[in-house]
Chain A
Amino acid sequence: DAGVTQSPTHLIKTRGQHVTLRCSPISGHKSVSWYQQVLGQGPQFIFQYYEKEERGRGNFPDRFSARQFPNYSSELNVNALLLGDSALYLCASSSGGLSVYNEQFFGPGTRLTVL
């Protein structure tokens, strides 16, 4: 079975631009979460989506938004890019709804560089 997939793998943007990152969860998983990992740190939670609704949001500005589609894939959008948005963006999926007991599985990430 395919794991979590993300696209693109790498992306280079300039300050002020907009970016869209994509994620497809493991087949049968309905919950998708997004994390940002800057160099030298652990991943930080951005959003959780379940059944196409936002179920949780981390401490990120409104420039960050996301959505989930009927097939449970998800997009993360970032507007007005700043240099500090350069990071590895990770998508995770889990089964079993919103239970705190669900194990999360991560995709390979999208490495975003903002120049």
Chain B
Amino acid sequence: GIQVEQSPPDLILQEGANSTLRCNFSDSVNNLQWFHQNPWGQLINLFYIPSGTKQNGRLSATTVATERYSLLYISSSQTTDSGVYFCAVKGEYGNKLVFGAGTILRVKS
């Protein structure tokens, strides 16, 4: 099945810094989502981005489907950005989201 790798596994930032999270996938995808999991376990939808670029406030994402990767940019990080960021994909004929292992982000004040 399709494999999803996220990097880095852990990231510590000072408040106000910028960061880039990467998601590599092993096969063609028709669906790619980025999530933020808060300390209580809730998965919050950040972007639905099977291709192209989207922006939402301080966050933006780019997916280059032909090269099988996606990037999540966080600018001017805040302590509330802390948590785990997951990339999840569906293959061409998939009916399930396949998740990466996540990136643990800690933003220090």
Contact residues of A with B, CB < 8 Å?
33, 35, 37, 41-45, 48, 55-56, 58, 88, 90, 92, 98, 100-106, 108-109, 111
Contacts and interface: CB of A to CB of B under 8 A. Distances in A.
B96 A42 contact: no
Interface of B: 4, 30-31, 33, 35, 40-43, 45, 48, 50, 86, 88, 90-102
Contacts of B92: 100
A31 to B, nearest CB: 9
Given A106-B43, A109-B41, A42 B95 contact: no
A8 B46 CA distance: 26
Contact of A56 (B41, B96, B99, B102): B96
Nearest to A47: B96
Contacts of B43: 43, 90, 106
A16 B67 CA distance: 47
Among all A-B residue pairs, the 6 with the closest Cβ atoms: A42-B99, A45-B96, A106-B43, A56-B95, A103-B48, A100-B30
A61 B100 CA distance: 22
Contacts of A98: 95
5 contacts: A35-B97, A42-B88, A48-B95, A90-B43, A98-B95
